Amino acid sequence: MSGNKRDNIKIGKKVMVVQKNDQRSGKLTEGIVQRILTNSQNHPHGIKVMLESGIVGRVKELI
């Protein structure tokens, strides 16, 4: 499933996100979705979420 569609992402789901400062390297961070920050249904770079750890990033993979 793609992290580009808001419908695929649910609160409590485990995901891999890329943080703003890691976009060039592509380093992914694993976490559980606490809040969905993107309002639109689709986003070409991934839906922006806040993880339970407080990290904000764009979803690249769903686990």
Model confidence band, residue 18 (pLDDT cutoffs 50, 70, 90): very high
> Does the residue 11 lie in any domain?
yes
DSSP 40: S
Model confidence band, residue 33 (pLDDT cutoffs 50, 70, 90): very high
Q: What are phi and psi of 3, to 5 degrees?
A: -85, 5
Q: What are phi and psi of 21, to 5 degrees?
A: -75, -5
CA neighbours within 13 Å on the CB side: how many for 49? 34
> Does the residue 20 lie in any domain?
yes
Model confidence band, residue 2 (pLDDT cutoffs 50, 70, 90): confident
> Does the residue 1 lie in any domain?
no
Domain residues for the domain of 55 are 6-62
Over residues 41-53, mean pLDDT: 96
> Does the residue 27 lie in any domain?
yes
Is a pLDDT exceeding 90 seen at residue 60? yes
> Does the residue 48 lie in any domain?
yes
Question: Which residues are bridge partners to 15 per DSSP?
Answer: 31, 62
CATH code: domain of residue 54: 2.30.30
**Number of domains within the chain:** 1
> Does the residue 34 lie in any domain?
yes
Over residues 49-63, mean pLDDT: 97
